Structure formats: C-alpha cells, structure tokens
Amino acid sequence: MTSAEGGAGATWAGTHVFTAPAIVEALTIDDVRDAVAAGGRVRALGTRHSFNDLADIDGTLVTVTGISADPVLDESRLEVTVGAGTRYGVLARWLEDRGWALHNLGSLPHISIGGAIATGTHGSGHGNGVLTTAVRRLEYVDASGMLAEVRVGDPDFAALAVGLGAFGVVVRVTLAIEPSYRMRQDVYSGLTWETFLADPDAVTGAAYSVSVFTTWGDEVGDIWLKSRLDAFGGISGAQLQTETAPLVGSTENLTEQLGVPGPWCERLPHFRLDATPSNGDEIQSEYFVARSDAAAALTAVRQLADDIRPHLLVSELRTVRADDLWLSGAYGRDTLAIHFTWANHPEAVRTLLPRIEAVLAPFDARPHWGKWHTMSADAVAAVVPRLADARAVFERLDPEARFANAHLRRLGVR
C-alpha cells in the first residue's frame, strides 16, 4: 500500500480534478480495510472513467485497481469471482481463454468492473440488462472496516448492486458466466429518420447488440450491428458498409468490423483494450427513457439538433432490458439510452443540458450517474422510484456517512 497527500489527478477525460486531500493505493484487501478503519470519509476510486465528481470526497480516496484480479472460476455454478478493480477487458480475455463469456460488455473494455456495476453502466441489446445484472455477489469493506458481502436474493441486494459507492468499498465481485460465443460486427448507414422513427424497435432489435450513432442530421447515421453468428440479420432501408466506420476520430482503436467473425470479447466493445479508447478530450452525458417512448423522445431531442450539433462529437442510441435494481437506469422498464459525446466545450454543454432535460422530462428521463447532467435532487427523485428506499439502506449500513460525499448529497442519494 502507498499513501499520499492529494495527487489523485483527474478523471479519464479531465472533466473533473479530484480534490480529495489524500489517496491510498491499495495493493490488498487488507489495505482497504486499514484505510477505512483509520477513520474519516472514504471513497473508492477505480479507473476514473466517470465524468463528474461522483468518486471524489473530502477525505481519503482508496484505489482498488492495484489489487490482484485473482479470478476464480466456478463452472458448476456458472460464476466467476474477480477483483473489483479489474478491467472488464482483462477478465473477458481470461474467460475467453477458458471457453467462457459474459452476457455483455460496455463500449470501452478499459473500465473497472466495480466502477461500472456501481453506476449501472451498460452495453446494448433488447435482451441484455445493464452490466450489473450479471452480479451474483459483492464483497465489500463496510463502514467499520470489516469485510461484508451481499448476494442475489438478499434483502439489500437490489439497493447495493448499483450502489454508487454509497455503502462501502467493493473489493471482489462474482459474475454470472455462460459458454463462449462468436460474433460479427457490421455497419449500416443511409437510414432516414422517417423510417427509423416509424419502428425504432425494428432497428435497435436487429441484432444481439445494436448501437445507432447519430449527429442528429438529415439521416440517422451509422448503425452498428453486433450479431451472434447463429443469428445474423440486417436493416431494411439501410446500406451495408464495406469500409470500417470511424467513431470519434481514428479507426485504429476500434474492434474489427466488416462481418469478420471473432470472439465475443473482441466484438461487443467498440474499442480495443490495447488501444486508447474514444477521443479522450470529451464530455459525456446520457439519459434513459422507456423504450416504448423511443420515437417520441428522439423526436423531442431532434428539435434541438441545430443547437446540439456544433458542440457534439456523436450521439449513441442503445437499448437495455428492464431490471429490478433500484438505482439502475433500466429499473422497471425496457429502456432506450440516449448518449451524447460532447466536444470539450464545457460552458456550451452546461447550457444545453437543461434544455435537453426539459424536452425529455415528459418521458421521465433518468441520468447516467457517472456522466454530466444538471438534474436536481427533486428531479432525480421524481424519476427514480426506489431512490428513497436505497437511501434508507445506505443510511442504515453507514450511519456516520463515511462513504457519503457532496455529489451523493446533492442528488439526495445520501
């Protein structure tokens, strides 16, 4: 373990500079326990892929990325247990080498498992839940510095699974696995908004995982279909692309397209683990609406297209299966995620977000916890129906607010 005063740096894209006065670089679970037992406020820090101050604290940050992954496979239970600071892409490769897979991955394989599940991070697919829906057990350091665990079926699991770091420092995660599968990735373009909005489900459900990339212009944009090899389809009214489609710049950092078969771990993410992901010099926002409201919600956002486009790198539209995790963006409803990757124009983005939130308000849009939004505690409570229940669990497990911070209090989570 190494400790330092300050020096936590910034989030991955530089959108927030950490103000915590101390940081502990944990190398073991005991290091985490010692840091919590030392007293004061504590927050876990992963791969820093959030875009706001969610992980910051007026106390000590404890990184868990230096703790050994130490994956343990339980084939009889179809589970794998791994260190929470492990990157998804590292675990994915380890599983693939042994003939196993996860149900889905996010667009970046670089993100830590603990951070991704804590914020409800997701991939895409009508039948695919957020990454957290694969969680079967969490092992965490509680407010007393002791190891605790919560499993699927336990009374607190629905609150803690997407837990925002509000109850402890997660150190080990058990995930459901399935036999490995192979996929192909194809890109279509040329689809009109009229055709898309007439039946959004026909497009977003055209493959195992679908991403619709748009800049809100006259045509929809590129549609990335990630298909299992035994279930390849296409999109009526769009053209199959025969060259690799770029995403926020170069094609060099992207996983292989053009229908070339490959393992799930090299097709589900957009970006390669061995390359720098996305643009880096960017701001991200994302909102979740019911999939049944997709056409109306997208039509509402299109009203702002002329104001959005000068500050936008790209938007991505993805779908997520409903779940029962209290703080998940897909809680209780099949979901459309409307994502914005902004140019680094912070003042313009801060001005645009309330306008986007206003046009999405009729659809009870929920924010992605780790990305920029301007929703108040009252606005969040109105669209996250089990927020108060989750807060009650956090307060019971952490009565001295050891893991609370300004961000969670601002949103009414603590």
Domains, the chain: 183-373 (3.30.70.2520)
pTM for this entry: 0.95
Q: What percent of the chain has pLDDT over 70?
A: 98
The 3-state secondary structure of the chain, one letter per residue: CEEEECCCCECCCCCCECCCCEEEECCCHHHHHHHHHCCCCEEEECCCCCCCCCCCCCCEEEECCCCCCCCEEECCCCEEEEECCCEHHHHHHHHHCCCEECCCCCCCCCCEHHHHHHCCCCCCCCCCCCHHHHEEEEEEECCCCCEEEEECCCCCHHHHCCCCCCCCEEEEEEEECEECCEEEEEEEECCEHHHHHHCHHHHHCCCCEEEEEECCCCECCEEEEEEECCCCCCCCCCEECCCCCCCCCCCCCECCCCCCCEEHHHCCCCECCCCCCCCCCEEEEEEEEEHHHHHHHHHHHHCCHHHHHHHEEEEEEEEECCECCCCCCCECCCEEEEEEEEECCHHHHHHHHHHHHHHHHHHCCEECCCCCCCCCHHHHHHHCCCHHHHHHHHHHHCCCCCCCCHHHHHCCCC
Structure confidence at residue 2 (pLDDT): 67
For the chain, the C-alpha Rg in angstroms (whole number) is 20
Q: Looking at the predicted structure, is the pLDDT value of residue 118 above 80?
A: yes
Cα 397 → chain centroid: 25
Q: Looking at the predicted structure, is the pLDDT value of residue 64 above 80?
A: yes
Looking at this protein, which amino acid is placed at residue 271?
F
Position 379 confidence tier, pLDDT thresholds 50, 70, 90 = very high
Position 231 confidence tier, pLDDT thresholds 50, 70, 90 = confident
Position 142 confidence tier, pLDDT thresholds 50, 70, 90 = very high
Structure confidence at residue 354 (pLDDT): 98
List pLDDT tens digits, range 247-289.
Answer: 877 788 889 999 999 999 999 999 888 877 766 789 999 999 9
Distance CA(369)–CA(222), nearest Å, equals: 26
Structure confidence at residue 6 (pLDDT): 58
Position 138 confidence tier, pLDDT thresholds 50, 70, 90 = very high
